[in-house]
Amino acid sequence: MKTLAWLLFSVAALAASAPGYKVLGKIKIGGQGGWDYVYVDSAGRRLYVSHTNQVEVVDLDSEKVVGTIPDTTGVHGIAVADDLGRGFTSNGRANDVTIFDLKTLKVISRVKTGENPDSIIYDPVSKKVFTFNGRSKDSSVIDPKSGEVVATIPLGGKPEFAQVDGKGHIYVNNEDSGELIEIDAKKDAVIKRVKMDGCESPSGLAIDAKKRRLFAACGGSKTMAVVDPDAGKVLATPPIGQGTDGAAFDSGFAFSSNGRDGTITVVGEVSPGKYDVVETVPTQVSARTIAADPKTHKLYLPAAELGAATEMKDGKKGRPQIIPDSFAIVVVGR
């Protein structure tokens, strides 16, 4: 009876601590083609959305599309340097980065990088831009003022999403090895590797900079690895949904966007040093990437309506087709 009572108490406590996230609405984008990352520039009040060969720019307050950045062939990620007035896109199929003006959205220059630049991030401490190149398995380091590559960092595996800690360190997931790689941004060098046991094929990565915790969305194992980078160890691996490719952190919670299930898994610190799932939020099938606005505490997930699966030559089913003009941003909040 004591065991049952404790179980009921635990379930009730978990339900009481559920933050209560839900879909608030959608921002219509339309058009055709796929997408990858979405980026919130909270200070500039803009949302940047990768969309096949261009970037859609949305005003966060009016929730209206206010511009586009064209000719970003196979764009994956977006980074912003508010202090420099410049933005950057990683163009996977062109093997380059577009540098654009934040006010006008006009292209300033293009920079050749390693092969298939995927994630991209700006480090405000070193004032450098880093691309993480999936095919060449390295990082191109760019001086954002001169628009030149100043270093290349070998990574020894396929890099995925990255985060900065505000202290001159960059963390990036290695999808091939299930490692978290730490880079010294001033030295342009790898200084630590953390094996994330219980995490297969990590993609999305989020950071709690205050508590120095990293949250890796591990699609292969359907877990979220909660990592202490300083101690170099995994603290927890709570379960998440299927088809994840993104992670975010806000208001004390980590989020995994699960595109195949059409859900967000919300992970919280349920007791000191203990992390677990506190809520599962229905969103939309295909919503696999995510970004958070620390000002409004809203979450943004690109998604589209999906039709029938494509027919393959061997008779197998391929990916579902995207229904034209259905692309939108799912807005989630409390």
**Residue 144 confidence (pLDDT) above 90:** yes
Token code pair at residue 40: 């919130």
Quick one: average pLDDT of 58-76?
97
In this structure, the answer to whether residues 214 and 327 fall within a common structural domain is yes
| CATH code, domain carrying 145 | 2.130.10.10
Residue where one domain finishes, among candidates 159, 174, 195: 195
Counted domains in the chain: 2
Taking residue 9's Cβ as centre, other Cβ atoms within 10 Å add up to: 10
Give the SS3 label for residue 90: strand
Question: What average pLDDT is seen over the chain?
Answer: 94
CA dist., res. 79 & res. 66, Å (int): 18
In a domain, 185, yes or no: yes
In this structure, the answer to whether residues 82 and 166 fall within a common structural domain is yes
In this structure, the answer to whether residues 127 and 224 fall within a common structural domain is no
Main-chain phi, psi angles of 122, to 5 degrees: -105, 130
In this structure, the answer to whether residues 75 and 129 fall within a common structural domain is yes
Comparing CA positions, the residue from 298, 303, 301 lying closest to residue 285 is: 303
Token code pair at residue 46: 């803009």
Across the chain, how many H-helices and E-strands are there? 1, 30
The pTM (predicted TM-score) of the whole model is: 0.93
**What region does 326 belong to: left with phi over 0, alpha with psi -120 to 50, or beta?**
alpha
Residue 9 — pLDDT band, cuts 50, 70, 90? very low
CA dist., res. 110 & res. 233, Å (int): 39
pLDDT of residue 328: 98
Element (H, E) at 2: helix 2-17
In this structure, the answer to whether residues 236 and 315 fall within a common structural domain is yes
CA dist., res. 145 & res. 262, Å (int): 40
In this structure, the answer to whether residues 277 and 313 fall within a common structural domain is yes
Residue 321 — pLDDT band, cuts 50, 70, 90? confident
Q: Which domain holds residue 160?
A: 71-195
Residue where one domain finishes, among candidates 162, 195, 228: 195
In this structure, the answer to whether residues 229 and 150 fall within a common structural domain is no
**DSSP-assigned states of every residue in 193-211:** EEE-TT--SEEEEEEETTT
Comparing CA positions, the residue from 15, 9, 49 lying closest to residue 31 is: 49
